[in-house]
Amino acid sequence: MDRERKRNVGNRYLVLILCIAFVFGCKDDKEPVVEDLAEVVEEPEEILEFGFKVDDYVIKRDTIRRGDSFGEILERNKVGYPKIFNIAEKAKDTFDIRRLQVGKPYTLLCSKDSLETPKCFIYQPTLEEYVVINFHDSIHAYTSRKPIKYVEKTATGIINSNISQTLEDQGLSSRLAYKMADEIYAWTIDFRRLQKGDRFKVIYTDKFIDDTIYTGVHNIKAAYFEHNKEPFYAFEFVTDSAKGIVDYFSEDAKNLRRAFLKAPVKFSRISSRYNLKRRIAVYGFKLRPHKGTDFAAPIGTPIMATANGTVTESTRRGGNGKFVKIRHNATYETQYLHMKAQNVKKGDFVKQGDVIGWVGMTGNTGGPHVCYRFWKNGKQVDPFKQKLPEAKPISDSLKVQYLDFIAPIKQQLDNIHFLEDVFEEQNQPEHTIKQNTNQISLNR
C-alpha cells in the first residue's frame, strides 16, 4: 500500500513538472499579449460650418423678412438693446447692418442651455460669401467665403431638334446651350437654324460650393461646333488680365465675337423698334419719333452692357427715368433707360455682359422694359441696321502666346470622340455605348 501511494504521489509531481515545463517552454521573451476585449468606440466626426463646431451650439436658421432689422432679429432672440447697440457699433467697420436684404439667409449660433442665448450672427448675402458677427466673448466681425470647387467636364451632342433638347436628353445643363449660343457663337452660327445632324464637343467647368451646392456651368474652356458640315472651333483666352477681359477665338486666332451684344437683356422680346415715323393715338397721331429699341422684360431683370466701355452718366432725368450711358470708343455710345436701379456709377469701366442695372418703369413708360439707345458719331441710330465692328482682334504680341496656349487644348478637344463615330468603329448598337466624360477637380 505504501508503495502504491508513493507511486501516485510521484505521478502527480511528474504531471505538475511537465505542466510547468510546458508553460515556461511556450513563454516568449516578450510580455504576454493581453487582448483588449472592450468595444472600440469611434470618435464622431467633427462637423464644421462657417468655421464653427456645429455640436457646440444650438443652430437657428431663418431668412430676412420684410421689416426685419439686425436689432429686431437679436431682440426676438432675447438679446438686450444696449448689447445690440454695442455689437452694431463695433461691427460697422466690417459690415453695415442696414444692408440686410429680404430673402437672404442668416444663422444664429446659440448657447446649449435653456436660455439658448445667441453668441454669433452669420449673414449670407450670396451663396459664396458670408458675414460673421461674433459676440461670444469679445465682439468682432469679418467676411469670408465658402470653399469653391471647379470640376472640368466634357460633353458631346448631335442635334435632332434643338441644342437645348439635346443637352436635356443627356441630363446636362441648359446653361451650356445659352453660353454656346449667346456668348461664343452668337455672331458665327444662327442657333435658330441648326440642321439635323449638326454636332458639337465642349470642354467646360461646373462650379460647386462646399462640394455639395451646384451653382451651374462656370465657363466653357473650348468648343467645337460642326454646322452644315463646316467646323467652328472656339477657345477661351484672356486678352487683358488687368481688366479681366475674356474673349473667344478660332484656331487661327480670329475673334468670334462682335463688339456689341445683340440685346442688353436675356430672353426678352422687342416691344417697340427704332422708328422715326412713329405716330401714337394718345397724342392725337402726332409724329413722335422713337429713337430707341424697347426690350420688354419683367421688373428686376438684369440689364447688361452690350460692349466694353466707360460709364459717362448714371443718373435720373425727366422721361428717361433712371438711366446709364456708356462711351465705348470715339464712335459709339449706348444708353439704357427706365431702370429700376443702376448698378454702376460715372467713371466705372464695364465689360461686355456686366450687369449695369435692372429693368424698371421709371420715367415715361407704360410697362416694364429697357429702352436701348445706340449712338454713332453723336447721332442716335438703329443698331440693327448698322454694320457693327468685330471685337478687338488679338494683338500680334499675344498671337504666338495664344497659339501655344490652345495647342494642348485643341488636342484634348480633338481626342473627344462623337458617340456615332465610336459606334461605327466598334460596330456596336448605339444603346450599348455610354458617353465617357473626364472630370478634373480645380479647387479655389
CA dihedral 304→305→310→314, nearest 10 degrees, is: -50
Distance CA 170, CA 256 (A): 27
pLDDT in tens, 86-115: 999 988 888 888 889 999 999 999 999 999
CA-based radius of gyration for the chain? 35
Question: H or E element: which one contains 37?
Answer: none
Looking at 2.70.70.10, 3.40.50.620, 3.10.20.30, 3.30.465.10, the CATH number of the domain 269-385 comes to 2.70.70.10
Could you tell me which of 219, 232, 225 has the C-alpha nearest to residue 152? Answer: 219
Q: Residue range 412-428: average pLDDT?
A: 71
Q: Residue range 51-63: average pLDDT?
A: 93
Q: Which three cell numbers stand for residue 300?
A: 428686376
Q: How far is CA 379 from CA 294, 332, 393, in A?
A: 18, 9, 26
Distance CA 355, CA 326 (A): 13
Residue 439 confidence (pLDDT) above 70: no
Output the CATH code of domain 48-145.
Answer: 3.10.450.350
| pLDDT in the model for residue 235 | 96
In terms of pTM, does the model score above 0.75? Answer: no
pLDDT in tens, 166-216: 888 877 778 888 888 878 887 788 787 788 899 999 999 999 998 888 888
DSSP one-letter code for 353: T
Maximum pairwise Cα distance, the chain: 149
Phi, psi of 319 (to 5 degrees): -70, -15
Range picked from 35-44, 136-145, 335-344, 345-354 for highest mean pLDDT: 335-344
* Strand-pair partners of 295: 270, 370
Indicate if the alpha-carbon torsion angle 335, 338, 343, 346 is positive or negative.
positive
| pLDDT in the model for residue 438 | 45
Whether 149-257+394-443 and 48-145 are alike in CATH topology: the answer is: yes
Cβ neighbours around 251 below 10 Å, total: 17
Lookup result for grid cell 480633338 = 414
Distance CA 222, CA 236 (A): 6
pLDDT in tens, 263-318: 899 866 788 887 766 655 545 556 567 788 899 999 999 999 998 899 999 999 99
Domain extents for the chain? 48-145, 149-257+394-443, 269-385
Could you tell me which of 72, 70, 73 has the C-alpha nearest to residue 60? Answer: 73
Residue 426 confidence (pLDDT) above 60: no
Strands across the sheet containing 148-158: 245-249, 230-240, 213-227, 199-209, 148-158, 440-443
How confident is residue 233, by pLDDT bands cut at 50, 70 and 90?
very high
Q: How far is CA 266 from the centre of its chain?
A: 17
How confident is residue 46, by pLDDT bands cut at 50, 70 and 90?
confident
Instruction: Name which residue leads in pLDDT, 6 or 341.
Output: 341
Residue 437 confidence (pLDDT) above 50: no
CB proximity list for 111: less than 8 A, separation 6 or greater: 57, 58, 117, 119
Looking at 3.30.479.10, 2.30.130.10, 3.30.460.80, 3.10.450.350, the CATH number of the domain 149-257+394-443 comes to 3.10.450.350
Q: Which three cell numbers stand for residue 77?
A: 432672440
Q: Which three cell numbers stand for residue 295?
A: 426690350
Please, are residues 373 and 335 in contact by the beta-carbon 8 Å criterion? yes
Instruction: Name which residue leads in pLDDT, 34 or 40.
Output: 40
Name the percent of the chain in helix, strand, coil, to the closest 5: 25, 35, 40
Written in H, E and C, the secondary structure of 329-376 is CCCEEEEEEEEEEECCCCCCEECCCCEEEEEECCCCCCCCEEEEEEEE
